[in-house]
Chain A
Amino acid sequence: MKDSMYLAWRYLCHHRAKTLLLVLSLSVFLGLPLIMRAMSRATQRSLLDRAEATPLLLGKKGSSLDLVVEALYFQLKGAEAITEADVDAIQATGLALGIPIRTGLMARGFPLVGTSLDYFRFRNLRIAEGRGLAMMGECVLGTEAAKTLGLGPGDALLTSPSTLFDLAGVYSLKLNVVGVLQPSYGPDDEAVFVDVRTAWVAEGKGHGHQDLAGAGPDLVLKRKAGTVTANAKLLQYNEINESNVDSFHFHGDPSGYPVSAVIAVPHDEKSGVLLRGRYVDAEARQLVRPARVVDSLNKQIFRFERILEIVVWTVGLATAVMFVLVMVLSWRLRAEELRTMTRLGCSRWKAAQIMGSEIVIMVGASIFIAGVFGIVMAQYGETWLQNLILRGA
C-alpha cells in the first residue's frame, strides 16, 4: 500500500498543474456548502444569543425587525424614535428596568450609542482600560472601535456631522475617551458609548454657551424685559469639559427627547408578562420580544439557505461529474502506461491501488483545504455575514 501511495504521489507531483486544478475544484465542491452552513449557523446563533439576552424591547409601532436591528445591533435602519418619557413610564410601572438606547449618529465610522450606565451592567460589559462614563461629554469605546481608531483613554473623538452641507446645522461634538471595554464578541465591540444626554447634545438638542446674563454689547442683538437675544457671535461650545459642563442645558422638556428604543429588563417572569400586557393595546408603541423577531429572521434566512444549498449542491454535482470525467479520460490516456506496468509484473489490483491512492491524496488535500478555509471563514466571516444579513434584513 505504501508503494502504491508513493507511486501515486510521484505521479501527482509530476502532473502538478492538473493535480492543483483538480484539488482546487474539489475543495470548492466540498467546502462551499459546509462553509456556508457553518457560517450561517454561527451567525444565526450569535444573532439569537444577543436577542435572547434582551428580554423586551420597546419602540415605536412599525417594523419590529427594524427596531431590533437598530437597538440590538446598532445598524442604522431609521426606526422612528420614541421619547425619554417612555423610559420613565417603564420605570414607573415598577415591573422592569428601562434602559434607553439612542442611535443615529456616527463617530468616525462607528455607531454612537447613547444609553445609561445600566446598559453596561445589563450586558456584562467591563472596562479593560481607563474608567467608565462619569460625566456628559465622555465616551467609552468598544474594543474593535478602539483598535481600529487607535484611540484610548485621554484621547478625543469627534462625532460625524449629521448635516455636512448645512452651515447652520449641528456641528461635531468632541468626545473625551475615558475607557475601552473588554471584548464581548458582539456589536458592542464596534460601538462608541456615551451617556444618552451626550447623544442629545451631539444631535443639537442641548448645548452650552457663554453666559448671556453678563454678555457684552458685541454679543447681544437686543435686551428687553428680562430677555436677551444673542447674535451669531455667541460662542457655543463643541466640547464638554469640567470648565463648561454646567453651562450645558436642554431646551424644553427633556422627557420629550428622542430615544430609539428602550430595553426593558423585567424584575421577574411575572413582571415581564404583566408589562407585555400593558402594551398589547398601545396605539403608538410596541413591546417586542427580540428573540422571537430574530427567530423569525433566522427562519427566513434558513429558507433562503435551503435554496442556496440546492444551487451549490447542483454546481457541486457538476464539479464531481467533471472530476470523474477528467479521471476517466486521464486513465484512458494512461492505458499504455498501465499496460507497461502489467508487463513489468504489476497486478491489476496493484494498478487499481495506485489509481485509488491518487484519488485518496487529492480528496484528502481538498478536505484539508476546505477545512482550513472553513475555520478561517467561520472565525472572520461571521461578522461580515451578520452585517450583510442585518443590512439586507
Chain B
Amino acid sequence: MRIGKHGRAGAVVMMTTVITIVLGCSKRAVPDQDTKSERADSFVIYTVNYPLSYFTGRMAPAGAQVVFPVPEGIDPAFWNPSADAVQDFQAASLILLNGAGYAQWTRYATLPRARILVTADGCRDGYLHTEQSVRHQHGPEGAHAHSDLAFTTWLDLRLAVCQASHVRDVLLQRLPDAKDSITAGFETLEQDLLDLDARLRVVGRASKGRPLLASHPVYPYLADAYGLSIQSLHLEPDQTLRGDDWKRLDAILKERHAEWMLWEAPPLEATKAGLSQRGVTTVVFDPAGQPPVGGGDFLSVMKANVDRLECAVGVKACR
C-alpha cells in the first residue's frame, strides 16, 4: 500500500510534466517594389534605336544617363545582343522600345516588363505592314506568315512626337523632381519635329502622287503620313546592282515611271549613273536609325533629308 503511494506520486509527476518546445523559424520574403520617385543621377535609360536615344537625350534631366548600346555599323533593327548586353538592358532603370516589331531581339530576350515602355504603342490604330512574306503551313495550325511590320515609325514625325510624349510621360512619372527640365526639353523637341513635319507635308502635296522608288522597305510611315507614293525594292547602297536587279528595276519603271528613288545612304556612283540614264534622280533619305557617323544628330540628319526631298520635288531651290 505504501508502495502504491509512491506509484501515485510518480504518476502525478509524470502527468504534470509540462514541456514547451519552441520550434520552427520561417524566413519571410519581402517584395522589393520599385520606388515611385527616383534620383536622376542614378537613372539609366536604355534605348533600342538612335531616334529614341536622341529624343530622350533632349528631355532627360542632368545626371540621367541615356544609353544606346548598339555598336556602330550594325542596324539596330537586326542587332543580336549577347547575354551580357541583354543583362545590361535588364539592369536599366527604364528600357525604351520602339514598337512595331522593331529590334527583333526583344521578341526572345527576357526583359523586365515593369521597366519597359513601348513608345509607339497607342500612337496610331495599327502599325503598317511591309510586303507580305511567304505564307507557310506545317502541322495542324494552318497557313501563317511571320510578322512583317514596318518599323521606322519615327519617319512620320507626328508619330515621332507621340513617341517622345510617351517618353516624357514616363520620365515625369519616374523623375517628378525634374518636371521643369523634362517639360521644357519636350516642348523644344516637339517644335523641331513639327517644323520638319510641316515641311514634309508641303513636299507631299508638291509630289502630287507622282511615284517614287525606295531602295528598301523602310519608308511606309513616311509615305503614309505625307501622301507619297513609294514602291520599295531590296537594294543595298554599297553593293553593285546586278543584271537581275536592273531588269526588275526596268520592269517597275515601265509600270510606274518614277522620277526619284530614295536611298538610305548614297549609292555607288555606277548605280547613280545607271539610275540617271533611266531618268531617275537619286535622293538620299537616311532613316537615322543609327547616329550619324560624320557628326551631327537626328535633327540635322532629318533636316538634310527634308532639304533633299524639297529640292527633288521642286519645293525649294537645290543647294
Given known pairs A38-B24, A229-B137, the reply for A122 and B108 (CB within 8 Å) is no
Chain B residues numbered 96-119 whose CB sits less than 8 Å from any CB in chain A: 104-105, 107-114
Within 8 A of B (CB), among A2-58: 26, 30, 34, 38-39, 41-42, 45-46, 49-50, 52-53, 55
Assess whether A111 is interfacial by the CB under 8 Å rule. Answer: no
Q: Which of B30, B83, B108, B135 contacts A226 (CB 8 A)?
A: B135
| CA–CA, A213 and B134, complex, Å | 6
On whether the beta carbons of A124 and B108 are closer than 8 Å, the reply is: no
Min CB–CB distance B307 → chain A (angstroms): 37
How many cross-chain pairs have Cβ atoms below 8 Å apart between A and B? 191
Q: Does B242 lie at the interface of the complex (its beta carbon under 8 Å from any beta carbon of A)?
A: no
With a cutoff of 8 Å between Cβ atoms, the chain A residues found around residue B247 in the complex are none
| Size of A's binding interface in residues, CB under 8 A | 82
Tell me whether A136 is interfacial, beta carbon within 8 Å: yes
Contact (A197, B108) CB under 8 Å given A49-B28, A226-B132, A327-B10:
yes
In the assembled complex, the CB of A182 is this many whole angstroms from the nearest CB of chain B, namely 11
The answer, among A53, A184, A348, for a CB contact under 8 Å with B31, is: A53
Taking CB atoms, residues of chain A closer than 8 Å to B147 are 249
Residue-wise interface mask of A (332-358) relative to B, using a CB-CB cutoff of 8 A (1 in contact, 0 not): 100100100000000010011001100
Q: A134-B86, A229-B137, A331-B6 are in contact. Are A323 and B23 (CB under 8 A)?
A: no
Beta-carbon contact of A226 and B134 below 8 Å: yes
Interface residues on B, range: 35 or more
Whether A184 lies near B29 (C-beta < 8 A) is: yes
Residues in chain B near residue A212, CB distance under 8 A:
134, 136, 138
Interface residue A108 (Cβ < 8 Å from any Cβ of B):
no
A139 to B246, CA, bound (A): 49
A190 within 8 A of partner (CB): no
A99 to B114 CA separation, bound complex (whole angstroms): 9
Does the CB pair B143–A367 fall under 8 Å?
no
Q: Does B129 contact A (CB under 8 A)?
A: no
Interface segment, one of A143-151, A159-167, A240-248: A240-248
Would you list 8 pairs from A and B whose C-beta atoms are within 8 A, ordered by A residue?
A: A87-B113, A117-B113, A213-B136, A230-B137, A246-B105, A246-B107, A356-B6, A375-B23
For the complex with contacts A87-B113, A117-B113, 9 further pairs of A-B residues with Cβ separation under 8 Å are A26-B14, A42-B23, A49-B27, A53-B29, A97-B34, A178-B83, A227-B137, A248-B108, A378-B24
Q: Interface of A with B (CB < 8 Å)?
A: 26, 30, 34, 38-39, 41-42, 45-46, 49-50, 52-53, 55, 87, 91, 97-99, 116-118, 121-124, 131-136, 138, 178, 184-186, 195, 197, 209, 212-213, 226-230, 234, 236, 240, 242, 245-246, 248-249, 251, 265, 267, 320, 323-324, 327-328, 331-332, 335, 338, 348, 351-352, 355-356, 359-360, 363, 367, 370-371, 374-375, 378, 382
- The 4 A-B residue pairs with the shortest CB-CB distance, nearest first, are A42-B24, A378-B23, A230-B138, A38-B23
